[in-house]
Amino acid sequence: MALTSRDGIRSARRVVVKVGSSSISGKNAGQITHLVDALAEAHGRGTEIILVSSGAIAIGMPFLELTSRPTDLATQQAAAAVGQNVLIYRYQDSLDRYDIVAGQVLLTAGDLEIDSHRSNAQRAMERLLALRILPIVNENDTVATHEIRFGDNDRLAALVSILVEADALVLLSDVDALYTRPPSEPGAELIATVPVGDALSGVTFGDIGAAGVGTGGASTKVSAARLAAESGAGVLITSTAQVARALNGDDIGTWFEPSPRR
């Protein structure tokens, strides 16, 4: 269904939620419990939830005795291979409290460009949702190359929302909304709503998220939000700490109005 405002998220049929590495790794690893509580509440009232979760590389780094995000592809792949296993375990361990089963879905950019792969991914997620399984999507870092990577999971989340025809996309970060300039700077004003076609002229974007573990920033979130909104999904950008309020349709964050056409 077409959402006219953020309060429609509560009654939406299908919602994609994206969380970044900095929100669920390191000192913020405990936020997984808070995130799962909110997802489970929405799942319990009948909303079909797809979680797009970063974090595999960041979570795998300590196991490889790395103190900073690796820059070479092979070490990124190694960290992701270890971290993805731990990441899914942590989610499932928390979801067990609600008797919800997670299904892991790993994708590359190439998978969504090849018709047969795209159809298979769509079919698999539709079946998982029909079975009341909660799909957890991440980039397949162990096989992705620099040439075919999504670049950041904000774009992946937007593409997944298009793939499954989601009603809404919720992009979570460390900041509660978009601002006219980095929120730490004087004069920064919260942007409550972005109408269809708004170029956000005069807005200066800084990074969103803790330095060193993630790859996305405010500009990548805006690009992803526009991509999803132009395809008919309402998009809300807010902080991971406010995920429960976001899924309840509260008046928070920055809302990108969806295009009337899907």
Distance CA 202, CA 204 (A): 7
Provide long-range contacts, Cβ within 8 A and 24+ apart, for 71-74: 73/145, 73/146
| First-residue to last-residue Cα distance in the chain | 10
**138 appears as a binding residue in the annotation:** no
**154 appears as a binding residue in the annotation:** no
**167 appears as a binding residue in the annotation:** no
Do 9 and 168 form a contact (C-beta atoms < 8 A)? yes
Distance CA 20, CA 40 (A): 19
**173 appears as a binding residue in the annotation:** yes
Question: Beta partners for 16?
Answer: 50, 169
**Structure-token pair, residue 117:** 């792969």
Write b or e for each residue in 24-38: b if 16 or more Cβ atoms lie within 10 A of its Cβ, otherwise e. bbbebeebbebbbeb
Question: Beta partners for 49?
Answer: 15
Do 143 and 183 form a contact (C-beta atoms < 8 A)? no
**18 appears as a binding residue in the annotation:** yes
**Structure-token pair, residue 172:** 């979570």
Write b or e for each residue in 210-244: b if 16 or more Cβ atoms lie within 10 A of its Cβ, otherwise e. beebbbbbbbbbbbbbbbbbbbbbbbbbbbbebbe
Q: Which residues are annotated as a binding site?
A: 18, 54, 141, 153, 173-174
Q: Which residues are annotated as a binding site for ATP?
A: 18, 173-174
Q: Which residues are annotated as a binding site for substrate?
A: 54, 141, 153
